[in-house]
Structure 1
C-alpha cells in the first residue's frame, strides 16, 4: 500500500521509456503508457522491476477511461506523449496538421490528467510533469535562443501546441495548488528520438532529458509549482 506509483504516457520508446526506467529505479511501480500493446509490453520487459504495460491512447476517450480503471493508485503523472508531424511554418500548415498535433499534445494531456485526477488526489504527494519544449517558449521565440533556430517560424503546429501546454501547466498548478500538487513543465532539449527528422539526426541523449523529468516528479513538498524548467534544472522563460 505504500508503494509509490507513476504513469508515463508515450513510454514505449525515447524519452518516455527512459523516464519510466529511472522512476522504476527509484522504487516506483511504473505504468508504461503505450498506444501499441506489443511495443509497450516489450518496453516494460526491458525496464523490468515493477514496470507494467498500460495500453493507453491519449487521443481516445475510451482508451483513457479503460486505462484509468486498471490503476488503483497514482502519485506521479508524466504527460510525455507528443507528436510533431510537420516542420512547416504557419503559412504552410493545414488545419488538419494543427488538429492532429493538438489532439495529442494538448487535448490528450487534458483528457489524461482529468481522468487520473481522482487517483492523484488520494496521493500524499501528487506530482504532474508535462514534457514541453523550449521551442514553445514565446520569449525564446521572439528573442532567439542559440539552442535552436527560433526565428524561422517552422514547426508551427508543434511549437504552438507546446506553448498551449505551457499555459495549461500554469492553470493546473494554480487550480491544484491548495491540494498539494506540484505541476511543472520540462524543456527536454533536442534529443535523438523519432519525434521528427531534426530530432532523429540530433546527438542529444534522451536519458539526460529523462533525468530532468524525474527530478520534477520527485520534488519535495516545498518545491516549485507552475514553473518551466530545462532538463538541467535551469528555469525557462515562458
Structure 2
C-alpha cells in the first residue's frame, strides 16, 4: 500500500475512473468505489498499479458502513457518484424522480462523507472533492452562461440536487476547516459520458474534468476551501 490513499465513488466508469487513474499516477493507493463488482474489478485492472476495488453503493447505508470499516486512513475523498434520470422541467418531473436523484446525489454524498470522516481525520492533509455541475449555478441559471440557455428550467431534479450539494460543500468546509480539511465542489463541464444522452453525444473529453478534480484533491494547505471551481480552475458563481 502507498502511504497516501484516496477513494473515488462511482469510479468504475466515466469521469470517476479517470480521476482514480490520475490519483494512482500520483502515487496514491486508490479505492475504486463501485456498486458493481465486475465493472469495478475491470476498472481496477485498467488502472492497474495502485488501484483497489471497494464495493460501495452510495444508496446502501449498511454497505457504506462495511466499506468504511475497510479503510483505516484516507487522504482524499472524491464524491463523484451521481445520476441524471431525465432532462425534464419540474412540472414534468414526478416526485419519485426527485427522490431517486437526491438519494444518490445528495443523501449518498452525506452518508459516504460522514462514514469516512474518521479515516479522513487521520490524514495530515484531508481533502474532499464533490463533483457538482455548472448547471447547478443559480447565477448561471438566471443569466447568460457558456453551458446552457438561461431560463430553460430543464433537468430540474438533477440541477437542484447539485445545488444542494454545493450548499453542503460550503457547510462541510466551514465546520471542518479547523481540522485542516479542504472541501470544494467541481463543475466538470459537459463530458462524453453516459450521464445523459446529450452528454454522450456532445460532451468533451472527461479527462479534462478529471484533471480539475485532481487539482482540488492535491491542494496545498494554503489552498481554498468552500469554493466552487470549474474544471479549468476558474471560480463558478453560486
Q: What TM-score, normalized by structure 2, do the two folds share?
A: 0.98
Task: Provide the C-alpha distance between the structure 2 equivalents of 1:14 and 1:167, rounded to a whole number of angstroms.
Answer: 25
Task: Provide the C-alpha distance between the structure 1 equivalents of 2:55 and 2:93, rounded to a whole number of angstroms.
Answer: 31
Residue 69 of structure 1 deviates from its aligned partner by 1.0
* Alignment match, 2:133: 133
In 1, are the aligned partners of 2:2 and 2:27 still within 8 Å (CA)?
Answer: no
* Alignment match, 2:22: 22
Gaps of at least 5 residues in structure 1 are none
Cα deviation, 1:163-214, whole Å, max 9, x if unaligned, reads: 0000000000000000000000000000000001111112400001000000
Task: Provide the C-alpha distance between the structure 1 equivalents of 2:162 and 2:106, rounded to a whole number of angstroms.
Answer: 8
Cα deviation, 1:20-72, whole Å, max 9, x if unaligned, reads: 00000000000000010000000011001010100000000011011011112
After superposition, residues 34-113 of structure 1 pair within 5 angstroms as 34-113=34-113
Q: What TM-score, normalized by structure 1, do the two folds share?
A: 0.98
Residue 2 of structure 1 deviates from its aligned partner by 6.6
Cα deviation, 1:68-97, whole Å, max 9, x if unaligned, reads: 111121000000000000110001010000
Alignment of 1:151 onto 2:134: no
How many residues get paired?
A: 238
In 2, are the aligned partners of 1:180 and 1:221 still within 8 Å (CA)?
Answer: yes
Gaps of at least 5 residues in structure 2 are none
Over aligned residues, Cα RMSD in angstroms? Answer: 0.9
Cα deviation, 1:78-124, whole Å, max 9, x if unaligned, reads: 00000000110001010000000000000000000000000001100
